[in-house]
Amino acid sequence: MRFKFLLKPGWLALTLAVWVFAGACVYLLSPWQFGRNDERQAQNSAITRSLQNDPVPFGTKHDEWQKVELKGRYVPELEALARLRTVQGEAAFEVITPFRTTTGRTVLVDRGYVRPVNGIKPPEFAKAPTDEVTLVGLARPNESNDQPAFEQDGTRQIYSINNNAVGPGIEPGYFQLVEGQPGALAALPLPRIESGPYFSYALQWIAFGVMAIGGWLYFTIREARPGGVLHEGTKRKKKSIAELLAEEGDDGADGAGGEPDDAGQLHGTRHVT
């Protein structure tokens, strides 16, 4: 049977590995990169619209990165610093202060960032105003970690910007202040509007999957043909043994001509004088 070699354990293992890898490339890794590309495109579109459009009043429907106008007062007693941040390649704390709107709803406001002292400790920074103000911020969703706030170096700190982490009675999500707003510190830079490498990565994963299947098919067809790779290797091995035996026979035949011994006499040949 020509394809009997496919049932060999080594070939079965190779087949399984190739098809699992190809399936992961096509059905898992490439869709993941396509999804990241779609997210980046949606983010770019939202940021572009936000920069072009006027802010909407708080309480109306808004999308991520959309500018929203809030009226009310800061609640500084629940202020916290989001730690382990990086802004423009350097360590930073983001200052998160709750804000109670004139409608009685409390939200989180990201006032901007400050640089740590000696790389680890929070610095002194301007306090939030206590009177009623009007703010414009970019709508952002909750970050995932809702581990509660804790005290360190004399300040409340959080690992993630999350309403549950800061305190009770705060609505999900937060608003990232744009430059020049009351209580704003150093404004956080917007993400760069670029497509990123995700689309090309997705195509590369598809190519890797196709190449793996193509290689498996090539070697399978090559082996299935008469005189396949394994068959040729066996023939070569047998031929080498036969040649070795022939060479040994030739050596024995050559020795029949006689060789001189230590006394200088020849054996195997009779000389007549």
d(CA 92, CA 88): 9
pLDDT for the residue numbered 198:
87
pLDDT at residue 26 in the model: 92
Position 251 scores a pLDDT of 56
The one-letter amino acid at 132: E
Average pLDDT estimate for 159-172? 95
CA–CA dist 48, 119 (Å, integer): 34
Rounded Cα distance, 25 and 212, in Å: 10
Q: 135, 177 in Cβ contact below 8 A?
A: yes
What is the structure's pLDDT at 107? 97
Distance CA 104, CA 101 (A): 5
DSSP-assigned letters across all residues of 172-216? SSEEEEPTT-TT--BPPPPPP----SHHHHHHHHHHHHHHHHHHH
Least confident of 21-25, 74-78, 251-255: 251-255
Question: For residue 141, which of 166, 158, 161, 157 has the smallest C-alpha distance?
Answer: 161
Cα distance from N-terminal residue to C-terminal residue, the chain: 69
* C-beta separation of 109 from 98 below 8 A: yes
**Given this model, what pLDDT does residue 193 score?**
73
| Highest mean pLDDT (candidates 99-113, 180-194, 204-218) | 99-113
The answer to whether 158 and 81 have CB atoms below 8 angstroms apart is: yes
Which residue is associated with the tokens 């500084």?
A: 76
pLDDT for 227 equals: 62
Q: What is the pLDDT of residue 184?
A: 96
What is the average per-residue pLDDT within 242-253?
Answer: 57
Q: In the prediction, which pLDDT does 252 show?
A: 54
Report pLDDT for 5.
73
Mean pLDDT over 73-91 rounds to 95
Taking residue 115's Cβ as centre, other Cβ atoms within 10 Å add up to: 14
pLDDT tens string 51-60: 778 899 999 8
